[in-house]
């Protein structure tokens, strides 16, 4: 079977072992005579999968007991609206760091709701090539908001700013890639389709005391409290996606857990960044070094040579490496090296990049 090295930003690669296990369960799950996709979300058959996924997430991510783990729908973009709906107080304010396209979209949703929103730091003027330094949040804010990893620009927080106000983290592109400091985080959310599973599932991990903030005017289905009170079964959840998250948690456990995966991620990123840094300027990274992402490596060929960049993307495709075209907003190239990307895949890409440089310098 031909399997490509998938460097796409999302939906992205799923481990082969997970896909093979899902393939076996697709027609007959646990000798039930039905596919896991056909199982009722109210059945014991599915309920065991659902609860095991939550339990494994708690274990691997070391989630404290005073947090709820929710499976929602609508993608991470739905959270841009749900967060202010659930956490804002009348007459209060929210504070955001603008470090890229996704935080920009989240900020827009706060404004649509007529909530005061302060941008306390931004990297916009430098084309979001770094994480802003010296971030100062107001401890009296309703909540403060950061995007932990920026898929388009290839930047990532190395530590989160401290605040007495609740800190919200959009971890859509680096969830489960390293262990986070829960003492600093009050709500963390992520679309599953980069590191946790397939598209269609949104993970929200929220402190239980924040569930009570929601106002009476918020629609029932848009309240975190609704879903927490019903174990994310208020309505039909994305059952097959949650089943795959369960399998991915088991796969993560087999790889030494999240700490073990973090070491692999550091190794993969070093291989690729070393290739860029040692190319005598032929390859140029977008992010400044102290803000570099371990998940998304955005780079250009010298002088942003679009013709050569397109040629490299085509050669990569011809060599079974896909998804390397940079985001349309900045162009260039982008290698997304999420948990499921193997070291072998990164080494294959680097070998091609070095060969391409010799032939095109």
Q: How far apart are CA 105 and CA 257, in angstroms?
A: 32
Catalytic residue among 142, 170, 174, 186: 170
Indicate if 194 belongs to the active site: yes
Answer for the pair 330, 151: CB distance below 8 angstroms, yes or no.
no
Tracing tokens 């948690």 back to the chain, one arrives at 249
Question: Following CA atoms 315, 318, 324, 328 in sequence, which dihedral angle do they give, to the nearest 10 degrees?
Answer: 80
Q: How far is CA 59 from the centre of its chain?
A: 19
Catalytic residue among 142, 174, 186, 194: 194
Q: How far apart are CA 54 and CA 65, in angstroms?
A: 12
Q: How far apart are CA 302 and CA 300, in angstroms?
A: 6
- H-helix segments, 255-331: 257-277, 306-318
Indicate if 170 belongs to the active site: yes
Q: Mapping DSSP to helix (H, G, I), strand (E, B) and coil, where does residue 148 land?
A: coil
DSSP letter string over 96-122? EEE-SHHHHHHHHHHHHTT-EEEEEEE
> Which of 170, 167, 209, 171 is CA-nearest to residue 184?
167
Question: Phi then psi for 271, rounded to 5 degrees?
Answer: -60, -45
By the 10 Å C-beta count (0-12 exposed, 13-18 middle, 19+ buried), 29 is classed as buried
Q: What Cα–Cα distance (Å) separates residue 257 from each residue in 169, 182, 288, 324, 346?
A: 21, 17, 29, 28, 21
Question: Phi then psi for 116, rounded to 5 degrees?
Answer: -65, 130
Indicate if 304 belongs to the active site: no
Residues 6 or more apart whose CB falls under 8 angstroms from that of 250 comprise 56
Phi-psi region of 88 (alpha: psi -120 to 50; beta: other; left: phi over 0): beta
Q: Point out the residues that are catalytic.
A: 102, 170, 194
């Amino acid at each position: 079977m031909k399997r490509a090295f998938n460097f796409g930003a999302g939906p992205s690669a799923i481990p082969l072992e997970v896909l093979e296990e899902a393939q076996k369960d697709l027609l007959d799950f646990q000798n039930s005579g039905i596919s896991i996709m056909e199982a009722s979300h109210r059945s014991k058959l599915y309920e065991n999968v659902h609860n095991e996924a939550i339990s494994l997430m708690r274990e691997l991510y070391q989630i404290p007991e005073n947090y709820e783990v929710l499976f929602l729908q609508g993608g991470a973009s739905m959270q841009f609206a749900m967060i202010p709906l659930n956490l804002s107080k009348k007459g209060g304010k929210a504070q955001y760091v603008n470090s890229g396209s996704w935080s920009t979209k989240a900020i827009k949703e706060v404004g649509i709701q007529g909530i005061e929103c302060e941008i306390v730091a931004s990297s916009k003027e430098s084309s979001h090539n770094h994480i802003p330094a010296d971030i100062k949040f107001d401890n009296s804010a309703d909540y403060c908001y950061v995007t932990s990893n920026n898929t388009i620009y290839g930047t990532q927080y190395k530590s989160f700013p401290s605040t007495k106000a609740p800190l919200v983290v959009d971890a859509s592109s680096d969830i489960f890639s390293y262990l986070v400091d829960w003492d600093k985080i009050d709500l963390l959310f992520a679309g599953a389709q980069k590191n946790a599973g397939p598209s269609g599932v949104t993970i929200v991990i929220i402190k239980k005391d924040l569930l009570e903030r929601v106002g009476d005017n918020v629609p029932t289905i848009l309240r975190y409290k609704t879903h927490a009170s019903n174990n994310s079964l208020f309505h039909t959840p994305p059952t097959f996606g949650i089943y795959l998250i369960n399998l991915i948690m088991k796969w993560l456990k087999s790889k030494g857990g999240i700490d073990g995966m973090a070491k692999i991620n550091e190794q993969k990123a070093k291989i690729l960044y070393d290739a860029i840094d040692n190319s005598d300027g032929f390859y140029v990274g977008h992010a400044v070094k102290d803000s570099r992402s371990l998940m998304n490596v955005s780079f250009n060929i010298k002088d942003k040579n679009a013709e050569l960049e397109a040629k490299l993307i085509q050669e990569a495709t011809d060599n079974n490496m896909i998804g390397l075209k940079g985001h349309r907003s900045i162009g260039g190239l982008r290698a997304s090296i999420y948990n499921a990307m193997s070291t072998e895949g990164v080494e294959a890409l680097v070998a091609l990049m070095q060969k391409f440089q010799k032939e095109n310098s």
